[in-house]
Structure 1
């Protein structure tokens, strides 16, 4: 057979072991065309999918759906994601002004636009005076943490100008906001007015001429004086010896510091003061004195020696004259101490140049002189009384407009002295004005003036729309954020820092003596102590014109009448407790004597419900038995500023609403949580050292009145204990507390 025939035979008759050829694959079925409203994504599947919400396929066979009008997608959105739109504006925006800083807080928008990437932008505009519009805030304004692309719902705006109107526009944006060119931006607007603030730090201190024992210093005014600079304070100490320093004052931006050691390195810091108080100290600057006498100082020393010789000769002549005159008259007037000539005497008070201190009006021989010096007389024709807003010990408290020539009309509060007063009552009435007129601070109630040349005699102060802080908080229970409450506390602490720097001790710091204006700015008031502070007859510790407010007063002030700024700090701790409990009465219905005894036994008020742990720790620090261990007011202001700048530090609560708290906690055992957890009545009474009452408490039916669950029943339990005392007294039972 030929090769060709063999090949043909093998193809026609394959052997059993030879492979058979595979049939070709069937052709794929033709793809169906997606109908209207459906699309086929080549990257996802071969089947048709319905268009996601707010999108549509306007023709058959679409591979993607297009967004409806007003809805958008970005490139990174998957095809099956719904089209989205920009969010609505933020809600419930509030502001809290703190001198030249503003804390802004808001809630998420009602409509997020269908996206989860909502962010917030803040636009700051400064309102120009005289209706000239507004301009964007400068680069000096700081946003903490930032002003654009915020994920959280709060921001601190710092370094604003004092006494300036600002407008803040809050905008919510998401991933498609930039695509919505025809979508009008929706803002929520907040208008605020900043307060007076302390000046910014001095940036640079320059060294001038240096001598063996002196250094000449000069510095520039702070970048942000925030008012008129009243004086500068220079702090200096020898290097490595900062525990012992010296402070001197100057009204100029230069000074020669003398009395230094030769060839020694000194650290210098400068800070400025306005009527709002001191700013922060500058950073530390190191300067060294000269190790030798310069030519100038040698000439000066020679001059001093020559002067000394001359004075010695004069002194010899004076002594000789004294001896001679003594023989004739037997008397000679004492020579004035030259150091006294450096002091300025004012109505019997020693006043040092550049140092402003509080002067007690009672030290004036004629109290009317203090009124004349510290207050401004207002003509009664400039005042209109419109309505009565309260009553005081001396007369009615009214409100109305004050129209001073050349100034805009303002609303004021008017205290009047009732008819038929004695001269002593008139002095007591105007005494508070003499005190108030010495203060100038945004967190101290401002005295506008007095009316003494006509009747009725009046004291005119700024009008505080929201009245006393305790009443205001009770009316608005649980209506404020923690940041707003901390802002109120910060304002009070700032005012008390100013009073402390002035050398004034308030003695009656309490929420009832704090006034609140329409911007929620808290201001310290009531400087007279001329009324009865406690109607309770058990408050037997009296001072001039009134009784000590036991519940707010430090132990050393009650026991020894030792009133200092440290005792004001104790009272401030109680004010903090009042604010965080929305105006609760400290120690509830406990008698004053029981309060004194409890404090002496180291018990302290518990943390209010939902009170941040950081604030309760500060309260406990204010209630230290050793007054030297309590914080200073400037330290309190500093701490509150840090808390406001870092709101997350306020999230940890000392005593949340669903937990049980003791009536009082022992100061030595406080670990930041005053919650007692789940306790029996006996355990609770033991914890407050009243375990001896357990049997009577359980057997007398009191438990049934109070309820098994102790949470939220603190005041009822106290009332029940008081009822037991009355019952025991009536049955002649003797119990030693």
Structure 2
């Protein structure tokens, strides 16, 4: 027999990074050395980006399925460090490789891991326990993978897992109140960094102190009362249901909500003649059928991924180029589905493409196609150079004319009119979900609300389960989950406010619960600084409590068109003194408890250079400062727009603190 030899190096190695995991794939070597016993070995090196020196990764890295003796041409490394440079060397070996005196033959891949969610909290200690409360403390996770922003504590009565409570804390201690005496409760804790939440800790069980015998005798009556009330409610519901079903049999269509009727037809795939309607992909028995019906399949070889530009719910978002046959190469955005996905994740990921593929409008993000026949699975859309609208506005604070801002708003309203006409309710309209290109054209994006909001930091738990973005959502949608085009109009009003305030956070630092209560009691966001009165009035119209009183999107587009054609109508600004009038709940001094002096306040907002000017002009107390208007600032010589905004916004936030106390409005 001819002598055999070691194999050549593997070929075309590619990597896929998912937080602190790396998936490698490669093609077998061109020369197997005349033997069939080829296997693969992975060498892992951690490299310092400054010195260029590399060292072995160590034993904390796990290889799936294994590091040596690999028979298949792929491997996954997990438990890597976040934000770290790694070099992986993939070597093919066979039965005579050990006899080879020459240099190793390998292919290397350089990767940088992403920021990762923190590891689970490993130990929780109980503190003070009473009959109605349990105090807990814990240690920071072993691998925080970044700065811990907050902890989420989930707890429930033992064997009552479906009814749980969530507490959020920036500290490593909490006290759970309002518990039942002598009852066992289960606690789980997870940490959040900028990369998102880590996994929940294991379950920790603690018990409240028992109540006295006399008290327990009184308490024993409560379950009887609760059961009686529950039975009564059930009976009442049955009677009402029977009556309603009887009326429904009589086809009393006058009572049926037109939005519900419209959605019924759409979900049933009944298209109205001459009208293009949106079809919910979830109504398909096979979700893959919906993807192939509404999205074009693209060959992976047509796509060139250039760089990572962000993180999505299911993987990374990249920029790259697409070259289709017979067409010139052009830039695209590419969403990738991370390795190790479940079938449900794949279905949800492609569900957004099934929705997007039904839309064709200059102010809706355009779907180029999907890659489903090879890995990674991808969604390819047009590339928007300036990214999300909220970030873009913050970076360019005060740089645009009012007409340019109104043009942006007009584009968003036009896209929403199209969606509304199609019968599609967005449910998560916000500046962060609007993309903007180099020509300042705004396009509505992000059509995956049902999945995205589960991990969205802007979302909040509601009484009916699930999550919704409270600050952007209409009161009826929060209270009754009644999402319609009218609730999208409310959200559009918030987007208008975001645009005119250059990406400021709606309701500032008020908590979600305070926002719900304040809005319910009639509070509305004040006009942004230098906002035309006509635009602020349109915002207030969008925030009408009665959803039937809000303007339709076609009316909004028409109104904005009139303002653009008649720019002089935008010159009348909202009166500076009335901008914060609906923030004031009584004439008590504002801010006196927050800052001890005018100087301390100005220093806190990095405007200390104006302390002397304020004092010389009689503004020597926080009570006096609370009455300052924009005209007063100009008179004092505060001429820079950015400084004016900073001071006026700080005053507004101090006034909002009064609302935070939930004094009746």
| Partner residue of 2:312 out of 392, 407, 414 | 392
Q: CA deviation at 1:452?
A: 0.4
Structure with a larger share of its residues in helix: 2
**What corresponds to 2:402 in structure 1?**
482
| Partner residue of 1:539 out of 460, 463, 485 | 460
Change (3 A) 1:645 1:724: closer
**What corresponds to 2:585 in structure 1?**
689
2:270 is aligned with 1:374: no
Contact 1:590 1:718 (8 Å CA) reproduced = no
Partners of 2:502 and 2:651 lie apart in 1 by 20
2:364 is aligned with 1:449: no
- Cα displacement string for residues 634-661 of structure 1 (whole angstroms, at most 9, x for unaligned residues): 0010111111111111111114xxx456
Contact 1:533 1:549 (8 Å CA) reproduced = no
Partners of 2:470 and 2:267 lie apart in 1 by 35
2:340 is aligned with 1:424: no
Q: CA deviation at 1:543?
A: 8.2
Partners of 1:557 and 1:568 lie apart in 2 by 10
- Cα displacement string for residues 415-435 of structure 1 (whole angstroms, at most 9, x for unaligned residues): 000000000110111111010
1:158-237 correspondence to structure 2 within 5 Å: none
**What corresponds to 1:517 in structure 2?**
437
- Cα displacement string for residues 126-147 of structure 1 (whole angstroms, at most 9, x for unaligned residues): xxxxxxxxxxxxxxxxxxxxxx
2:486 alignment partner, SS class: helix
Partners of 2:329 and 2:308 lie apart in 1 by 19
**What corresponds to 1:526 in structure 2?**
446
Partners of 1:408 and 1:450 lie apart in 2 by 19
Partners of 1:504 and 1:725 lie apart in 2 by 35
| Partner residue of 1:565 out of 485, 491, 509 | 485
| Partner residue of 1:584 out of 487, 498, 504 | 504
**What corresponds to 1:649 in structure 2?**
569
Partners of 2:442 and 2:322 lie apart in 1 by 22
1:201-350 correspondence to structure 2 within 5 Å: 349-350=269-270
**What corresponds to 1:618 in structure 2?**
538
| Partner residue of 1:638 out of 555, 558, 579 | 558
Partners of 1:735 and 1:519 lie apart in 2 by 45
Contact 1:663 1:714 (8 Å CA) reproduced = no
**What corresponds to 1:436 in structure 2?**
356
1:526 alignment partner, SS class: coil
1:453 alignment partner, SS class: coil
- Cα displacement string for residues 65-91 of structure 1 (whole angstroms, at most 9, x for unaligned residues): xxxxxxxxxxxxxxxxxxxxxxxxxxx
Partners of 1:624 and 1:652 lie apart in 2 by 23
Q: CA deviation at 1:632?
A: 0.5
Q: CA deviation at 1:368?
A: 1.1
**What corresponds to 1:412 in structure 2?**
332
Q: RMSD over aligned Cα, in angstroms?
A: 2.9
Contact 2:389 2:435 (8 Å CA) reproduced = yes
**What corresponds to 1:600 in structure 2?**
520
Q: TM-score, normalised by structure 1?
A: 0.46
2:333 alignment partner, SS class: strand
Q: CA deviation at 1:690?
A: 5.4
Contact 1:495 1:524 (8 Å CA) reproduced = yes
- Cα displacement string for residues 144-172 of structure 1 (whole angstroms, at most 9, x for unaligned residues): xxxxxxxxxxxxxxxxxxxxxxxxxxxxx
- Cα displacement string for residues 294-331 of structure 1 (whole angstroms, at most 9, x for unaligned residues): xxxxxxxxxxxxxxxxxxxxxxxxxxxxxxxxxxxxxx
1:60-75 correspondence to structure 2 within 5 Å: none
Q: CA deviation at 1:349?
A: 1.9
Contact 2:414 2:553 (8 Å CA) reproduced = yes
Q: CA deviation at 1:355?
A: 2.4
**What corresponds to 2:63 in structure 1?**
none
Q: CA deviation at 1:713?
A: 4.3
- Cα displacement string for residues 555-601 of structure 1 (whole angstroms, at most 9, x for unaligned residues): 11011111000000001011111111111111111111111111111
Contact 1:589 1:718 (8 Å CA) reproduced = no
1:539 alignment partner, SS class: strand
Change (3 A) 1:535 1:407: closer
Q: Which stretches in structure 2 are left out of the alignment for 5+ residues?
A: 1-264, 602-621, 629-645
Contact 2:527 2:579 (8 Å CA) reproduced = no
Partners of 2:652 and 2:399 lie apart in 1 by 27
Q: CA deviation at 1:380?
A: 0.3
1:10-159 correspondence to structure 2 within 5 Å: none
**What corresponds to 1:244 in structure 2?**
none
Partners of 1:548 and 1:385 lie apart in 2 by 33
2:629 is aligned with 1:709: no
- Cα displacement string for residues 273-306 of structure 1 (whole angstroms, at most 9, x for unaligned residues): xxxxxxxxxxxxxxxxxxxxxxxxxxxxxxxxxx
1:548 alignment partner, SS class: strand
Partners of 1:554 and 1:722 lie apart in 2 by 20
Change (3 A) 1:721 1:574: closer
Partners of 1:426 and 1:621 lie apart in 2 by 40
Q: TM-score, normalised by structure 2?
A: 0.51
| Partner residue of 1:628 out of 524, 541, 548 | 548
2:380 alignment partner, SS class: strand
Q: CA deviation at 1:709?
A: 2.2
Q: CA deviation at 1:689?
A: 2.1
Partners of 2:559 and 2:483 lie apart in 1 by 24
Q: Which stretches in structure 1 are left out of the alignment for 5+ residues?
A: 1-344, 666-686, 729-733
**What corresponds to 1:355 in structure 2?**
275
Contact 2:585 2:664 (8 Å CA) reproduced = no
Change (3 A) 1:583 1:560: same
Partners of 2:268 and 2:518 lie apart in 1 by 44
**What corresponds to 1:3 in structure 2?**
none
Partners of 2:579 and 2:273 lie apart in 1 by 53
Contact 2:477 2:483 (8 Å CA) reproduced = yes
Contact 2:299 2:371 (8 Å CA) reproduced = yes
Change (3 A) 1:622 1:492: same
Contact 1:534 1:549 (8 Å CA) reproduced = no
Change (3 A) 1:593 1:717: farther
Contact 2:453 2:459 (8 Å CA) reproduced = no
Contact 1:613 1:653 (8 Å CA) reproduced = yes
Change (3 A) 1:663 1:547: farther
